[in-house]
Structure 1
Amino acid sequence: MTSKEAVIQELEKIPEHLLAEVLDFIQFLNIKYSKEELETHLLSESSLAKDWLNVEEDQAWQNL
Structure 2
Amino acid sequence: MPKQYHAEILNFIRFLETKALEERMGTAIASETSLKKDWLKPEEDEAWQDL
- Please give the TM-score of this superposition, normalised by the length of structure 1: 0.75
Please list every run of 5 or more consecutive structure 1 residues that lacks an aligned counterpart in the other structure. 1-13
Q: Which residue is 2:34 aligned to? A: 47
Q: Which residue is 1:7 aligned to? A: none
- Runs of 4+ in structure 1 off by over 3 angstroms are none
Q: Which has the larger radius of gyration?
A: 1
CA RMSD of aligned residues (A): 0.7
CA displacement at 1:38 relative to structure 2: 0.6
Alignment partners' CA distance in 2, 1:45 and 1:52: 9
Describe the superposition over 1:1-60 as per-residue Cα deviations: whole angstroms up to 9, x where unpaired.
Answer: xxxxxxxxxxxxx10011111111101001000100111110000111111101111111
Give the letter aligned to residue 20 of structure 1.
Answer: A
Please list every run of 5 or more consecutive structure 2 residues that lacks an aligned counterpart in the other structure. none
User: Which residues of 2 match residues 24-43 of structure 1 at below 5 A?
Assistant: 24-43=11-30
Alignment partners' CA distance in 2, 1:63 and 1:24: 46
- SS of 1:60's equivalent in the other structure is helix
Q: Which has the higher contact order (CA 8 A, sep 6+)?
A: 2
- Please give the TM-score of this superposition, normalised by the length of structure 2: 0.91
Q: Between Structure 1 and Structure 2, how many residues are aligned?
A: 51
